[in-house]
Amino acid sequence: MVTKMEGAINCLVEVFHKYSLMHGHYHTLSKEKLRKLIETECPELLKNPRDPKTVESVLKELDSNKDSMINFEEYLFFTTRLMVDAHDDSHHE
Ligand SMILES: [Ca+2]
């Protein structure tokens, strides 16, 4: 039986692949795919998810190797940041 934590980890991998495997570069997210992921998967977690500036700032912040794409490790920094925010929020409810 898959534990809650194992399920959460599998889910993060599946979400990345859902967008990375759409077309083109199979192991990275382009800005367009990152935009779709943010709008579809994180509509409540980010401020103004549909604002083009949100995608620009997230891409700039995450793209540590400066190739204008988001690889799996860079995506993990994004999910880590969301988890830190979710943890902080859990103490304010
Ligand atoms: Ca990159």
CA of 44 to the centre of ligand 1 (A): 25
CA of 90 to the centre of ligand 1 (A): 30
CA of 3 to the centre of ligand 1 (A): 31
pLDDT, residue 35, reads 92
> Which domains occur in the chain, in start order?
4-90 (1.10.238.10)
- The total of other beta-carbon atoms located within 10 Å of residue 69's CB is 20
pLDDT, residue 10, reads 97
Read off the pLDDT of residues 30-79 as tens digits, 9 standing for 90 and up.
999 999 999 999 888 777 878 888 889 999 999 999 999 999 999 999 99
Can you name the residues that pair with 50 across neighbouring β-strands? none
How far is 11 from 53, CA to CA, in rounded Å? 27
CA of 68 to the centre of ligand 1 (A): 6
pTM reported for the whole predicted model: 0.87
